[in-house]
Amino acid sequence: MSNDINTPTVGGKGNYDGGYARFLKAYQDFKGECPRGVTLKLQKTGVRYNLLLQFKQPPTGKRLPKTANLECTPEGVIDGVKKAKLVSEALGTISSASEFWDWYDKTILGKNQIEDNLITYREIFQQLEDGYFAGYNRNTGRPRSRDIVSDLSSYEATKGIYFRLFPNWDEYPSWESFKAMLYTPLQNGEQLVGSKTFKERYYILKAIAEKSPNKEHLLKQLEPINAKQTQFKKKQRIGIDAFKDWWYSAKQKAYTIKSNTVSNNRHSWLWVTGMAVMYGLRPTEIAAAVNLTKPFVTDDGITIKALSDPDNQDNYLVLGDYVYFTDSEGRKVSIKIGGRVVAPIPSPEMFKLLELKQPLLPEYSPKKGVQPRTITGGFDTRFTQKISSMKCPVTQKYAFRRLYNLLGEKYGLPIELRARLMGHSTIVNESNYKTKGIDATLEVIEGCSKLPIPLNVAIERLAALGVDLDSSEAKLFL
């Protein structure tokens, strides 16, 4: 029976029954041979002992113990003294913190040990992809799926395009490859730092670093970089009069086209522009409408009339979760915010002018073999192409949503309701959709002047005009 029954459990690779006393003696005898500033450290964790190196660690300068791949044996102590001398020399010659830790990983910990712990970019990318499709759509809360084209497109736009910037997926993550990916110039020649692309690259690198064994080192290199987006695309806007003038002119020209196919096609896309303005929708969302020509019945039995129904005065539009077209494999395309009920701007006159009760939804069918992103954005792309061919003053689809928001404000719809109908928060509405400028302010003021006013204000105004407030006519009016 062993006399070392109380011998503590120690770290390292050996069997230390009966050997702890020899190890401890070697530790006491040789630790004094370490150079100034780098020492051996015997650290107890629970019932285990580990032999470490302790020194001021760059870049913080804090004196802390650090694993050095040392066994708790006499041989491990002698090896530790040698490594302490190497570290002392490296601290005096290597000025870059990242370079020092790369050296430490290779020289002190040993290449084989690092390779055993590391995983390649390919493995990390697969983990991030699996995690993405195991998650939920942030706007609708539905589970993501590889069987939904929109999810495939979103994955490609947020992750796939950045993964492909790494030339060798079988490498281990390193700061050198991180830096090369982050600062790859933009293909359009525009400034990289401050762009949306730079910001997105930065955050995907942080996600990759979180999966890497050298996580702390990589995150330290990323920390001082300012990834804030400072460059933004100029937001287009169009006023109500400019829109009406263009729409009416384009409508007249559509009637003069001899080809019925071309003429009908133009009428259909003009109908889409009218729907975008009156309902504040993205073009693709209009392709998800389910009550254009037939009523929709909710799960609890509520019937919402068809938009084309002449007796329908509310003109509510019901959007489904998916558009009417699929890819060649039958996979569905979802809309950004998900299904909901929306209402038009309360202007019957404008609703009639735009002929919206005569639905003319354009036909669109994605080509076989195209990328998911092309499929999900195809309807919007076709919309931009068509309005450009009709000489529209704006080409950004969101210009029509901004006009809807302006009209909603003009006709007294509170911001909370406008934001809800458009499918976002009041903060987003205020920052991204509020049209600024004197002409826009005048448009809103003109509309507000025609809205009902509080009773006390009405009384004051009538009194100022000399109206007898006690008369039966005034009382009836009030």
pLDDT per residue of the chain (478 residues) written in tens, 0 to 9: 333 333 333 333 333 344 677 888 888 889 999 999 999 999 887 667 889 999 999 988 899 999 998 888 888 899 999 999 999 999 988 888 888 888 898 888 875 444 445 689 999 999 999 999 999 888 888 899 999 999 999 999 999 999 999 999 999 999 999 999 999 999 888 899 999 999 999 999 999 999 998 888 899 999 999 999 999 888 888 888 899 999 999 999 999 999 999 999 999 999 999 999 999 999 999 999 999 999 999 888 899 999 999 999 999 999 999 999 998 888 999 998 888 899 999 888 899 999 999 999 999 999 888 899 999 999 999 999 999 999 999 988 888 988 888 888 878 788 888 888 888 788 877 767 665 554 444 444 454 445 454 566 556 656 666 667 777 776 776 6
- 322 vs 151: CA distance, rounded Å: 12
- CB burial of residue 465 (10 Å; 0-12, 13-18, 19+): exposed
Residue 233 makes CB contacts below 8 A (sequence gap 6+) with: none
Instruction: Give a yes or no: residue 228 inside a domain.
Output: no
Residues 415 and 462 in one domain: no
- CB burial of residue 470 (10 Å; 0-12, 13-18, 19+): exposed
pLDDT at 431: 66
Strands 296-297, 303-304: parallel, antiparallel or unpaired by DSSP?
antiparallel
- 202 vs 400: CA distance, rounded Å: 32
Instruction: Give a yes or no: residue 230 inside a domain.
Output: no
Residues 430 and 452 in one domain: no
* 56, 39 contact by CB (below 8 A): no
pLDDT at 223: 93
Residues 353 and 393 in one domain: yes
Residues 248 and 342 in one domain: yes
Instruction: Give a yes or no: residue 232 inside a domain.
Output: no
Residues 193 and 255 in one domain: no
pLDDT at 478: 61
Residues 422 and 468 in one domain: no
Question: End of a domain among 90, 116, 142?
Answer: 116
pTM above 0.75, yes or no: no
Residues 407 and 461 in one domain: no
Strands 39-45, 48-57: parallel, antiparallel or unpaired by DSSP?
antiparallel
Residue 28 makes CB contacts below 8 A (sequence gap 6+) with: none
Residues 246 and 211 in one domain: no
Instruction: Give a yes or no: residue 205 inside a domain.
Output: yes
73 alpha-carbon distance from chain centroid: 53
Instruction: Give a yes or no: residue 468 inside a domain.
Output: yes
Residues 103 and 153 in one domain: no
pLDDT at 140: 83
Instruction: Give the count of domains, the chain.
Output: 4
pLDDT at 442: 45
Residues 217 and 87 in one domain: no
Instruction: Give a yes or no: residue 451 inside a domain.
Output: yes
Instruction: Give a yes or no: residue 229 inside a domain.
Output: no
For Cα atoms 422, 425, 430, give the angle at the middle one, nearest 5 degrees. 90
- Domain of residue 443, residue span: 437-478
Residues 284 and 401 in one domain: yes
Question: End of a domain among 194, 222, 250?
Answer: 222
Instruction: Give a yes or no: residue 198 inside a domain.
Output: yes
- CATH number of the domain to which 260 belongs: 1.10.443
Residue 401 makes CB contacts below 8 A (sequence gap 6+) with: 276, 280, 281, 282, 422, 433
Residues 428 and 312 in one domain: yes
* 253, 390 contact by CB (below 8 A): yes
Nearest to 49 by CA among 6, 12, 3: 12
pLDDT at 458: 59
- 398 vs 211: CA distance, rounded Å: 37
- 271 vs 177: CA distance, rounded Å: 50
Question: End of a domain among 116, 131, 162?
Answer: 116
Alpha helices in 411-471 (DSSP H): 415-422, 426-428, 438-448, 455-464
pLDDT at 98: 81
* 151, 333 contact by CB (below 8 A): no
